[in-house]
Amino acid sequence: MVKLLDTDIKTREVKKWQGVNILHFQGSSCSQKLRIFLKEKNINWKSHHINLVNGDNFSDWFLGINPRGVVPVLVDNGEVHIESNDIIKYLDNKFPSKILWPENETIKIEEFLEEEDNIHLDLRNLTMKFVAPTFLMKKKEKDIKNFEESSNFVEGIKDEQKQIQLKFHKNFIKNNGIDKSSIKNSIGVFKEKLTKINNELSKQKFIISNQLTIVDIAWFVYLRRLEIIGFTFKENYPYLSKWFYELKSNKVFLKETSLPTPLKIISSIYKVYLLFTGQNLKKYLNKN
């Protein structure tokens, strides 16, 4: 559970925020997971939109709330919680209306969510390469500098996660995007995980059991992103495909994971560009 210490919180105004406040971004997969969870549980929450494309997450104001510079963040009656899976576990306990993290499955759920979190940067590699042009995805050097110079402390200790984020964005600028070997590697990671999930779904209705849990929501969000960038599941992952399309027929699941219209347009034009320059996903998939 990552709950910030009082000394970590530099943006003091949030100490006065009442109720459930969520700092999030429409296109962020971790935010999408949290928003679907909140809807499923019928929890009332106040929205604070942080535009990652504009670099709002590297402003002093936001870094004073989350020194890692990432969304989502929960401010619950002035207490600041970070890490999407920790936020969800905390809220699932606090609002026991419809349990999505059942206690009797907690070991399996934690194992799957840890794996999901560990491959988050693989999803980001694929998103940054295939959803929109590099110039749109690239952070401004002045924002990165501000991030680098901001506080390094979370829970009172020097934070490794911040360094990981910083390295990602610096490499993105240095390589002018995501390099080929990282893309191949991330595709390989996902193929392996999809096989595992497909195998679980051959045994029961949902990934963990016959009941919907947070793991289904988390993986649905990942698969939607993979679908958007051009992955298809029907042929190689039949159980996963059936489960995916059933969840996609739920309006909330679909809406929360759809690209905003302007990005949808940019993304379709960009896909044509990738196709004509021989950089489209299919080409990588065939090589893998």
Ligand X SMILES: N[C@@H](CCC(=O)N[C@@H](CS)C(=O)NCC(=O)O)C(=O)O
| Start-to-end C-alpha separation, the chain | 37
Asked if residue 83 binds ligand X (CB under 6 A), the reply is yes
Strands 20-24 and 46-49 come out as parallel
Residue 117 or 239: which CB sits closer to ligand X?
Answer: 117
Residue 49 main-chain phi, psi, to 5 deg:
-80, 130
Pick one of 40, 117, 179, 227: the residue that binds ligand X (CB under 6 A): 117
Which span sits near ligand X by CB under 6 A: 83-91, 94-102, 171-179, 216-224? 83-91
Residue 52 or 247: which CB sits closer to ligand X?
Answer: 52
Measure the CA–CA gap between 85 and 70, rounded to whole angstroms: 13
Amino acid at 132: A
Asked if residue 71 binds ligand X (CB under 6 A), the reply is yes
- Give the bridge partners for 74, in sequence order: 22, 81
Residue 71 or 281: which CB sits closer to ligand X?
Answer: 71
Residue 70's CB is within 10 A of a number of other CB atoms, namely 23
Pick one of 4, 52, 187, 221: the residue that binds ligand X (CB under 6 A): 52
Residue 120 or 205: which CB sits closer to ligand X?
Answer: 120
Asked if residue 23 binds ligand X (CB under 6 A), the reply is no
Measure the CA–CA gap between 53 and 236, rounded to whole angstroms: 34
Q: Which of residues 26-45 bind ligand X (CB under 6 A)?
A: 28-30
Asked whether 221 and 32 are in contact (CB, 8 A), the reply is yes
Residues that bind ligand X (CB under 6 A): 28-30, 52, 57, 70-71, 83-85, 117, 120
